[in-house]
Structure 1
Amino acid sequence: MSLDKVKQKLLFKWLKQQAGFYKTSLRLSVLTGVISGLLIIVQAWLLATILQRLIMDGAGRADILPYFFGFLITLLLRVIFVYLREQINFFIGAKIRRSIREQVLNTLEQQGPAYINQKTTGSWSTLLIEQIEDLQDFYSRYLPQMRLAAMIPLFILVAILPVNWAAAVILFITAPLIPLFMALVGMGAADVNKRNFLALNRLSGHFLDRLRSIETIRLFNQGKKQTEEITEASENFRTRTMEVLKMAFLSSGVLEFFASVSIAVVAVYFGFSYLGELNFGSYGLGVTLFAGFFALILAPEFFQPLRDLGTYYHAKAQAVAAADSIYDFLSESSAPAELQSLETLSEPFSQIVAKDLVILSHTNQPIAGPFSFTLQQGQQVAIIGKSGEGKTSLINVLLGFLPYQGSLKISNIELNQIDKKNWRQQLSWVGQNPNLPAKTIRDNILLAAPDTSEQHLSEILQQAYVDEFTRDLPDGLDTVIGDDATRLSIGQAQRIAVARALLKPASLLLLDEPTASLDKLSAEKVKHSLQQAGKSRTVLMITHQTDKLDEFSHIWQIQNNQLIVLKGEV
């Protein structure tokens, strides 16, 4: 799929808007670049003067020492300003990338797990890491260089024109060739980069999914087949990457060719002038050695900003391609966030009432329903049903992660009119797969309530049976659990998740099959701790297990998009 020109312009405009908060830094970057360009002119004048005095005027060493020291000072100042500009440019790129990454992460947080699960982990990691990282050169290189490419050559023309107008005219005429051919070569660069990102996206998701399923792949003797598929995906990514490199090298080659031709024309002009074949350009005063050296020293510098812009033009195409999916994601996901109201619940909810509730996907397609029910504070409700009937979707809509049609009122206020952050403060949740993002056991439990006292924490550890295994660990609660809790069993990780849920002073406890992945002993302990917690809270639990539900006051079954009451009242 190619990017049309209208979409490319829209993405380029969006990329520039992201830099709007850093205009001061961008101006400072351009200022240091302009000063560096002016120093180049001074440096060229000093060097041409030294050569003129030595070769043509026969000046002694003492006569040229002031010019020589001035040349060294100018060179040192150029190094300093180039360094400052590089530091400023890196700062700009890093800050804007961080800002865009925060936008994406905040949007993902608002959308919730139901939205995130629509794509593979590899796809999200590519978007958050690779594609946002590829915006760096656009902000640190291309954007500041756009202004310098217009300003520096103009300053150089103004400096050469009083010395030799013919050299200035040659440079002026040949200068437009570089941006012209740069645009022609780069017209398809954004499409090539987009195809490369899509290939990387597929490779990342494919590889990560196979890596997580390595046990299943080996068990069913599918290793060879999966290796072939990864090899094919890798080869596709390699081909796309070579297309990008080919485009970049072609662009650089074209720019170097036309810059070299223009500089050669200037050199030929001065050569024939010194031979007496050309007698124009010097205002009738004769072409001096100073004029020739001054123009030839500045000629490469005249094209350098344009050549740099051409080199960074690839960064622009890369950024536009990377911004495509980022912009689409942020644009598609902005509407739900804008619908949120500022209404808050000043006290724990009294009841949840659903009437003709139809749960929707993020694309506004019906997922489940219509459901009608009333959940009173203090009730313990178990929801049973086959997979795919909409049980987890019901949990997600209560968490505020899915849109809906119909009515879903919390204490007589529609859920979509309540501030989601305020509402989630009354919720605690335990799912099938424990997610432990913090470094240690203690940090993962205290995510729910960082200011909890040691005494209360100790009580929660006992309720969730976490103390049974932490007392045997060398570092106790401060044990580092590793990435994805690899140093813990699934039962231990689930007990930590339960402890975290119990520690939060929430009035509604949402449980999405919290014992589904546990062995019998761990399942009994987790279930018992949740039963004890349910005595003082409202509980809504999803389960496939239809036995041992006596402790629940209500049992609902979801079947064929209908909510059927098996026990209690709806």
Structure 2
Amino acid sequence: MNKDKASNTNSECVHSGADKIDVLALARDSAKTSLRAVFTVQIARLVLRLGFSATAAMIAGRLVMDQPVQPWLPILAIGLLACSSVVGLFGDKMQANAETTIATGLRDVAGATLNAMSPRQLNQLPVGTLVVAMQRHPESVAALVIGHRMASMMMGIGPIAAAAMLLLVSWQAAILVICLTPVMILFFALIGDAIRSRAAVQERAFGRLAGQFADRIRALPTILANHALAEEEKKLSARLETYARETMGVLGIAFINAGIIDFFASLSIALLAVFLGLGHLKLMMIPGFSDLALWQSLFILMIAPEYFAPFRRFSEQYHAKAEGLAAANALDRLLNADSPEAVATAALDRPFSVLPQHGLVAITGPSGSGKSTLLRRLARLEPAESPVPAISGDVAWVSTDSFVAGRTLREAICWKLPLVSPTKLSDAANAVGLLDDALLPGGLDAPLTRGGGNLSGGQRLRVSVARAILSGRTVVADEPTAKLDAATAALVRQALLGLAHSRLVVVATHDRELAGAAKQTIDLSNNENIEVAA
């Protein structure tokens, strides 16, 4: 692939405001030149392998039958074998280089797209998604458009060439191996959906693992200082076990598919060997298998495996297809994520119900639908071009990126609040599980580094919730139960529902349980404004 050309194409895709980036189409377009070159080399390798098999069969048959062997035949066989090995090695190297070049180009596209995003839009992208997108997805897509595509093309050419060779000796033998082809294709179709769904689950599992790991790296000083490494290692190990289980599920299905191909290939070759053997022993007169010279029988037995080899190679690459499609879809979601500002502006072009004086209002919708932007505009943290029912009075902002001040947990919760009684402070911290957090020993006197640098995203969020409880203000929360385990999320959910009895609480959330308890729901997935009875 011409790297400069790929870079220009990538740049056009990134800077085109109207066009969406189709990662798979971009990769396939970039792979065309390399694919043709690799395909040509693989065809040459196939011809050389078939030629060697035919020559070796002739030599073996003549030697067994004590017939003279011309000196040029062994030389030709050795030459064909050597050339086949060299061409195969060259073709594999070309394929590896092509996949590396395409992966690099896709990584450049992702990097340029991320650089073009606003800092807040970048901050809203899950860390795990970014890690997987930059590290693994480009290689998976490259393996799909080169490795899997090459196996698919060879599966269309290789068996035809081998069957044509068999027809030169026995059309009955050719028909026997061809009859098993629909069975293998049927298994490919049956296994395809299963392996694709497992690959998608595997990709999400790795994203969650990467996100949790990044969050723990951020809080590593606190983890080490409180001797909590073993506990956090156990949590990461659980995520790793989940990812490993999904990976083995994908590979297991792929290996089963390969095993099925091997079974039918072995069955076919065994039938050929039995029929040919019975014909040579004159025990059974089967048309196309009797009255053959020994070299012809050996020729059939050596060419038959070449017929099934492309199917076996394709089955080995089947998991690459599933992983590549899952990776391409994930990259599409990342690179084509609409600007939150644009999505929110579109959402605000429709009428809104008046926000209640108190109660829970939930903004729901898929990632990238503009929930956070709409939340900021409702809280008057950002200007809105369209009229919105802005929240009156002061608001208490809750999110994982909330600012944390002070040198202790007590100071962080009480930051910019009027004098708070110790009892209320303790109750607020306890309501969100901060006093029971093993990574924050010392209770309210737990030491914090500057800006809360030693806090995880979940701890930072709970500090802002505790501060909101004490503020007496309208609470505006962005994903208030994100990055929390089930028990802690339940505490935060209960605290917010308790606040909603006496004041307005507006949340942007994926939490179905929290959204289900809302008095009013603004659904951005289908531009609905659903009123729910209190």
Per the normalisation by structure 2, the TM-score is 0.59
Cα distance, 1:242 vs structure 2: 2.3
The equivalent residue for 2:83 is 77
Deviates more, 1:211-220 or 1:86-95: 211-220
Of 125, 128, 150, the match for 1:144: 150
**1:193 matched to 2:199:** yes
Does the C-alpha gap of structure 1 residues 77 and 276 become closer, same or farther in structure 2, counting only changes over 3 Å?
A: same
2:208 to 182, 185, 202: 202
Q: 1:72 deviation in Å? A: 0.8
Q: Note if contact 1:131-1:197 (Cα within 8 Å) is conserved in structure 2.
A: no
Matched, 1:271 2:262: no
**Secondary structure at 1:363 match in 2:** coil
Contact 1:197-1:322 at 8 Å conserved across structures: yes
The equivalent position to 2:60 in structure 1, one of 34, 45, 51, is 51
Change (3 A) 1:336 1:261: farther
User: In structure 2, the residue corresponding to 1:58 is in which secondary structure?
Assistant: coil
- Aligned equivalents of 2:154, 2:273: Cα separation in 1: 25
Select the structure of larger CA radius of gyration.
1
Q: 2:49 — aligned with what?
A: 40
Relative to structure 1, the CA distance from residue 283 to residue 274 in structure 2 (aligned partners, 3 Å threshold; closer, same or farther) is closer
Tell me the secondary structure at the aligned position of residue 211 of structure 1: helix
Equivalent AA in structure 2 for residue 288 of structure 1: A
2:431 alignment counterpart: none
Q: Give the distance between the partners of 1:174 and 1:149, measured in 2 at CA.
A: 14
Q: In 1, distance between residues paired with 2:304 and 2:162?
A: 8
Report the Cα offset of residue 92 of structure 1.
Answer: 2.0
Tell me the residue number matched to 2:385: 405
- 1:179 aligns with one of 163, 176, 185: 185
Is 1:329 matched up with 2:334? yes
Counterpart in 2 of 1:567? none
Q: Is residue 101 of structure 2 the alignment partner of residue 101 of structure 1?
A: no
Label 1:123 to 1:278 Cα distance change in 2 as closer, same or farther (>3 A).
same
Deviations 1:472-514 (A, max 9, x none): xxxxxxxxxxxxxxxxxxxxxxxxxxxxxxxxxxxxxxxxxxx
CA contact (8 A) 1:53 1:64 kept: no
| Cα 1:90–1:336 shift into 2, 3 Å | farther
Tell me the equivalent position of 1:25. 34
SS in structure 2 of the partner of residue 277 of structure 1: coil
The verdict on how the C-alpha distance between 1:14 and 1:270 changes in structure 2, with shifts beyond 3 A counting, is farther
Match of 1:135 in 2: 141
Closer, same or farther: CA 84–333 of 1 in aligned 2, 3 Å = farther
Q: What 5-or-longer segments of structure 1 have no aligned partner?
A: 1-12, 338-360, 371-387, 395-403, 408-431, 433-515, 519-570
Partner of residue 11, structure 2 = none
Between the aligned partners of 2:23 and 2:114, the Cα distance in structure 1 is 20
TM-aligned CA distance change 1:369 to 1:336, over 3 Å: closer
Instruction: Give the counterpart of 2:116 among 105, 110, 121.
Output: 110
Specify the alignment match of 1:522 in structure 2: none
Query: How far is 1:22 from its partner?
Result: 2.9
Map Cα deviations across residues 184-235 of structure 1 (whole Å, 9 max, x no partner).
Answer: 2232111111111211111111112112212233556655543332232222
Looking at structure 1, the residues matched to 170 and 78 of structure 2 have their Cα atoms a distance apart, in angstroms, of: 26
Kindly provide the amino acid, as one letter, of the partner of residue 233 in structure 1. R
Partners of 1:288 and 1:281 lie apart in 2 by: 14
Cα distance, 1:207–1:117 mapped onto 2, change above 3 Å: same
Distance 2:375 2:210 in 1: 29
The residue type paired with residue 88 of structure 1 is M
C-alpha contact 1:115 1:362 (8 A) present in aligned 2: no
The alignment's TM-score, normalised by the length of structure 1, stands at 0.56
Match of 1:251 in 2: 257
Distance 1:112 1:294, change over 3 A: same
Where do residues 108-507 of structure 1 align in structure 2 (5 Å cutoff)?
108-218=114-224, 223=229, 225-282=231-288, 286-333=291-338, 363-365=369-371, 366-368=374-376, 390=381, 405=385
User: Quick one: distance in 2 between partners of 1:176 and 1:232?
Assistant: 42
Shift of 1:368: 4.1
Does the CA contact (< 8 Å) of 1:160 and 1:167 recur in 2?
A: yes
Aligned mates of 2:142, 2:309 — CA distance in 1: 21
Instruction: Report percent identity of matched pairs.
Output: 25
**Alignment root-mean-square deviation, CA:** 3.2
Alpha-carbon separation, structure 2, partners of 1:133 and 1:234: 21
Rounded Cα–Cα distance in structure 2 between residues aligned with 1:368 and 1:175: 60
2:173 and 2:288 in contact (8 A); partners too: no
